[in-house]
């Protein structure tokens, strides 16, 4: 098996091309090369972990100070599995620390180069752990929110916090630190990424529901949901949490409760297309 078959296609983001042009005019090719090698090792950590869990990976997009693994598995796999895939990237930086220090002790790596590698390795590690989507820190924030909150609410809060924090970092750069074009472009890129993520939030939620409908959602436990009869299906769906199956109890106007399985609700929405029926009407149909 060739390396090309083992690894996914690697694409270069336009913003990285801009930095390549900047490095050409500023004479910082060595620094850019170090950064790209660190980013590749970082992404390789993500990719190997994802491959071990048999994720479907279309490509890896590289950009300055990080990369994005293009996959539809986010939000469909167990939280602990996604956590391991996400944390596998930052862990590679500690491998780099070890390799560089060993190389320095054996005099394989010049002292000046050691200083540069350790500096950029630390910068990239800290930057990727910022709680901003799609950085690893943003994904970890999403996992933490998903433990306590329904999927849609956790996703919305994660994007909003990412946008706010990005704006705060941009403001701090202008107020307390000297302006750098590189840092400014990075934060603008993250701001645009979160704007794009917000625009497709409904699609992400529907994909989450579709995976539950297809039976592809990993189940850790069962957690009942009680809802009033006048709720729509979407009112019920927004209470769904990751890693949980939800038996649904419908509180009827006559103070009785009807039970309906979440699979029946999902089928009613995606297969029967009962978008306008209330959960009470659907529960009565299944109870009859």
pTM for this entry: 0.86
Domain annotation covers residue 159: no
Last residue of a domain, one of 101, 129, 157: 129
Task: Give the per-residue pLDDT at 87.
Answer: 96
Domain annotation covers residue 179: no
2 and 119 in a single domain? The answer is yes
1 and 104 in a single domain? The answer is yes
1 and 124 in a single domain? The answer is yes
- Give the domain range for residue 94: 1-129
Structure tokens at 17: 């091309």
The rounded distance, in Å, linking the Cα atoms of 106 and 115 is 15
Task: Give the per-residue pLDDT at 1.
Answer: 40
Domain annotation covers residue 24: yes
118 and 224 in a single domain? The answer is no
Task: Give the per-residue pLDDT at 229.
Answer: 95
Last residue of a domain, one of 72, 101, 129: 129
- Cβ contact 178:37 at 8 Å: no
Structure tokens at 44: 């390789």
- Cβ contact 249:229 at 8 Å: no
Domain annotation covers residue 255: yes
122 and 238 in a single domain? The answer is no
Residue 173's closest CA among 163, 159, 187, 154?
187
The catalytic site residues sit at 43
Last residue of a domain, one of 78, 104, 129: 129
Q: What string of pLDDT tens digits covers the 288 residues of the chain?
A: 444 555 667 777 777 777 777 777 777 778 888 888 998 899 889 989 998 988 888 878 877 666 777 776 666 788 889 999 999 999 999 999 999 999 888 878 788 888 999 999 999 999 999 999 989 999 999 999 999 999 999 999 999 999 999 999 988 888 876 667 778 878 888 999 999 999 999 999 999 999 899 887 778 889 999 999 999 999 999 999 999 999 999 999 988 999 999 999 999 999 999 999 999 999 998 876
Q: Tell me how crowded residue 179 is: count the other CB atoms within 10 A of its CB.
A: 8
Q: What SS3 class is residue 247?
A: strand
Domain annotation covers residue 174: no
Domain annotation covers residue 211: no
Domain annotation covers residue 141: no
Domain annotation covers residue 182: no
Task: Give the per-residue pLDDT at 7.
Answer: 65
The total number of structural domains in the chain stands at: 2
16 and 125 in a single domain? The answer is yes
230 and 115 in a single domain? The answer is no
The reply to whether omega before 134 is within 30° of 0 (cis) is yes
């Amino acid at each position: 098996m060739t390396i090309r078959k083992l690894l996914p296609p690697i694409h270069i983001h336009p913003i990285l091309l801009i930095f390549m042009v900047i490095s050409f005019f500023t004479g910082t090719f060595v620094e850019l090369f170090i950064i790209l090698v660190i980013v590749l090792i970082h992404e390789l950590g993500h990719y190997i972990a994802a491959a071990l869990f048999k994720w479907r990976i279309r490509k890896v997009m590289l950009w300055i100070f990080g990369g994005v693994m293009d996959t539809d598995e986010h939000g469909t796999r167990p939280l602990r599995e996604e956590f391991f895939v996400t944390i596998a990237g930052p862990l590679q930086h500690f491998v780099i620390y070890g390799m560089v220090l060993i190389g320095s002790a054996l005099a394989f790596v010049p002292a000046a180069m050691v200083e540069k590698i350790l500096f950029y390795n630390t910068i990239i590690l800290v930057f990727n752990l910022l709680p901003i989507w799609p950085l690893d820190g943003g994904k970890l924030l999403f996992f933490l929110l998903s433990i306590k909150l329904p999927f849609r609410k956790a996703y919305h809060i994660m994007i909003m916090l990412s946008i706010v924090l990005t704006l705060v970092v941009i403001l701090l750069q202008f107020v307390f630190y000297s302006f750098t074009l590189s840092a400014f472009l990075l934060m603008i890129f993250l701001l645009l990424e979160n704007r794009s993520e917000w625009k497709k939030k409904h699609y992400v939620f529907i994909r989450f529901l579709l995976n539950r409908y297809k039976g592809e959602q990993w189940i850790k436990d069962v957690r009942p949901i009680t809802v009033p009869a006048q709720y729509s299906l979407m009112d019920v769906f927004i209470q769904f949490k990751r890693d949980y199956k939800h038996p649904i109890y419908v509180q009827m106007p006559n103070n009785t409760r009807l039970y309906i399985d979440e699979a029946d609700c999902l089928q009613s929405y995606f297969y029967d297309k009962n978008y306008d029926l209330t959960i009470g009407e659907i529960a009565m149909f299944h109870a009859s």
